Chain A
């Protein structure tokens, strides 16, 4: 069985930019699992990654990675245990050959596994014998992905890993990540805009918006709590429907039927049974639908404060 550990801990982390304030962020990311951070563009996902890796400095708060306090100078030993895939490739490397960048990684990472690296290039159909600038966007992404994994890091940070990948390469990437996790003691933190990717990979989902964490959820629990119920009853009114446990929206659906969205599906169904209302139909919410409800609720709560 996997040990329950904390891979990443953020306590009151703040970053003040002239046009954007990140935080204060509080979050614990468990070791041994895949955690996906989702949220609209510019919500602070990539900035959070950069803070975790000490690429940018936080203006306040405390960050711990694999039990080490981040932000007290470069910790090479810690960095060796981490793999990182940037959201964008750096243009200053355009004239560098793939093999040269790989040599650089081999030099820095003691645990660099050349066979693993070759296997990943083969699986992803990447030729590293060309300059990074000449590679297509998808090819360069696959190459960087292979590099991030080749030293078998304990903690893998992936910033939108699938951007630019074709469907086959995407599928290979998912399989590679599952196999990487199979040992049970490794951790992945990733950002993604692809719903299917989050559904297939994540164990935990973190919602972020406007530089804040809206919530951390266990994936299956999240999806089993959010449902749209079509409820019918002779006496049913919008007002009565609105007191359903976890209610997040009521619409009239014709006749005496109402369409009620809830984030407490099990309680809501018990409530319907107790009140004598009939559940005509039920529909699970998709990740994007859950996110838009959370965003609306968040905006309302800011306004009312």
Chain B
């Protein structure tokens, strides 16, 4: 299985974090269903072109969060995600994206008012 995970080598965001955010989103959005067998560590490392050390860290972190579980010898699976959990993670991904947008804005010296205007414009574009 090929996971739709893409990394940006030019980003300030650490690699493991980029992958973690995307994999978490795939799980809490339900795109990866409970019980889905994930690629092996080496396989995923190969597809996203990073080291197995990074993927191990991602799998360990998400396992600690209760989103993944590892069965000895068979592989890593998507765990059951409760409704409450799903809601919390769902918002976490959005908050993260918004923060990134603000950081990008600050990098080119946007004012707060400019950012707010842009945010409202984006809202208007996507909600009618």
Known A178-B43, A184-B42, A200-B46; judge A220-B54 contact (CB<8 A).
yes
The reply to whether B51 and A181 contact each other, CB–CB distance below 8 Å, is: no
Q: Which residues from chain A contact B52 at a C-beta distance below 8 Å?
A: 33, 203
The reply to whether A218 and B12 contact each other, CB–CB distance below 8 Å, is: no
Distance of B66 from chain A, by nearest CB (Å): 18
The digit string for A162-186, where 1 denotes a CB below 8 A from any CB of B, is 0000000000000000100110100
The residues in B between 4 and 20 inclusive whose CB is less than 8 angstroms from any CB of A are 9-10, 12, 14-16
The digit string for B46-80, where 1 denotes a CB below 8 A from any CB of A, is 10011111101000000000000010000000000
Closest residue to A279 on the B side, CB-wise? Answer: B107
Asked whether B22 is an interface residue with its Cβ less than 8 Å from the other chain, the reply is no
Asked whether A283 is an interface residue with its Cβ less than 8 Å from the other chain, the reply is yes
The reply to whether B10 and A178 contact each other, CB–CB distance below 8 Å, is: no
Known A181-B42, A182-B40, A203-B52; judge A284-B16 contact (CB<8 A).
no
Partner of B12, one of A1, A223, A265: A265
The reply to whether B14 and A224 contact each other, CB–CB distance below 8 Å, is: yes
Q: Is the contact region of chain B dominated by helix, strand, or loop, or is it mixed?
A: helix
Distance of B102 from chain A, by nearest CB (Å): 14
Q: Which residues from chain B contact A280 at a C-beta distance below 8 Å?
A: 107
The reply to whether A224 and B49 contact each other, CB–CB distance below 8 Å, is: no
Closest residue to B14 on the A side, CB-wise? Answer: A224
Asked whether A282 is an interface residue with its Cβ less than 8 Å from the other chain, the reply is yes
Distance of B23 from chain A, by nearest CB (Å): 16
The reply to whether B10 and A224 contact each other, CB–CB distance below 8 Å, is: no
Asked whether B38 is an interface residue with its Cβ less than 8 Å from the other chain, the reply is no
A contact residues, range = 20 to 34
A265, B46: Cα distance in complex, Å: 25
Asked whether B111 is an interface residue with its Cβ less than 8 Å from the other chain, the reply is no
> Which one of A33, A199, A200, A219 has the greatest number of beta carbons of chain B within 10 Å?
A219
Distance of A244 from chain B, by nearest CB (Å): 15
The reply to whether B10 and A283 contact each other, CB–CB distance below 8 Å, is: yes
The reply to whether A224 and B107 contact each other, CB–CB distance below 8 Å, is: no
Distance of A281 from chain B, by nearest CB (Å): 9
Q: Which residues from chain A contact B10 at a C-beta distance below 8 Å?
A: 282-284
Asked whether B25 is an interface residue with its Cβ less than 8 Å from the other chain, the reply is no
Partner of B9, one of A181, A223, A278: A223
> Which one of A199, A220, A279 has the greatest number of beta carbons of chain B within 10 Å?
A220
Asked whether A202 is an interface residue with its Cβ less than 8 Å from the other chain, the reply is yes
Closest residue to A222 on the B side, CB-wise? Answer: B51
Asked whether B84 is an interface residue with its Cβ less than 8 Å from the other chain, the reply is no
A170, B14: Cα distance in complex, Å: 29
The reply to whether B42 and A219 contact each other, CB–CB distance below 8 Å, is: no
The residues in A between 253 and 305 inclusive whose CB is less than 8 angstroms from any CB of B are 265-266, 269, 278-280, 282-284
A218, B14: Cα distance in complex, Å: 13
Asked whether B109 is an interface residue with its Cβ less than 8 Å from the other chain, the reply is yes
Q: Which residues from chain A contact B14 at a C-beta distance below 8 Å?
A: 224, 266
Jot down 14 A-B pairs with beta carbons below 8 A, ordered by A: A1-B56, A1-B70, A178-B43, A178-B46, A182-B42, A184-B41, A220-B16, A223-B9, A223-B15, A265-B12, A278-B109, A280-B107, A284-B9, A284-B10
Known A219-B53, A220-B54, A278-B107; 13 more pairs at CB < 8 Å:
A178-B46, A182-B42, A184-B41, A184-B42, A203-B51, A204-B51, A218-B51, A219-B51, A224-B15, A265-B12, A269-B12, A278-B109, A279-B107
Q: Which 10 A-B pairs have the closest CB atoms?
A: A203-B51, A219-B51, A220-B54, A178-B46, A220-B15, A182-B42, A220-B51, A284-B9, A220-B50, A181-B42
